[in-house]
Amino acid sequence: MGDAYAYKCQKCGYEEYFNQGHGFLVHPQSVQEYLGLKKQLFHYKTHNKIVSLSKENESLRIKAAFQIYMCPHCQLLYDKAEVKVYKGDKTIHKSRFRCSNCERKLKLTNIHRLSKATCPICKKKTFKRDHSHHILWD
């Protein structure tokens, strides 16, 4: 179960939904369950990392959820499936993302505190949360 947050550009009218939370397949699971799916849910580098870690370690678990990230430089928003691989309570791998515009590292953002971001279409800082369109998804 997750939340979708609508953002709308005040200038050009562009709208986009950003997801946060768990999806149908993106949720906490064991590495065995994940590999048993025979599906590559995540970025290929993350997927390959999980496969190689599972060969060296036993009983690993995956924590996966959609998170909203922002580029600290461009202030563009992204929703990404964040993946953490852990053994016991130790995190041994964590996914990282880069901005497709400037290649800088993205930072996790608190959508509840974020009022304005950059519109991906017109690049103006008029991309605002549309509170009338908050939906729950599964």
Judged by beta carbon, residue 40 or residue 100, the one nearer Zn ion is 100
Shortest approach of Zn ion to residue 2 CB, angstroms? 24
Residue spans of beta strands (DSSP E) within the chain: 2-9, 15-21, 29-30, 61-70, 77-87, 90-94, 107-108, 116-117, 127-129, 135-137
Measured distance CA(58)–CA(71) in Å, rounded: 35
Q: Which of 23, 74, 93, 97 binds Zn ion (CB under 5 A)?
A: 74
Q: Measured between alpha carbons, how far is residue 87 from residues 44, 50, 53 in Å?
A: 21, 12, 10
Cβ closest to Zn ion, residue 49 vs residue 73: 73
Question: Among residue numbers 16 through 45, which ones bind Zn ion (CB under 5 A)?
Answer: none
Spell out, one character per residue from 87 to 106, where the chain touches Zn ion: x when CB under 5 A holds, - when not. Answer: ------------x-xx----
Residue ranges that bind Zn ion, judged by CB under 5 A = 9, 11-12, 14, 71, 73-74, 99, 101-102, 119, 121-122
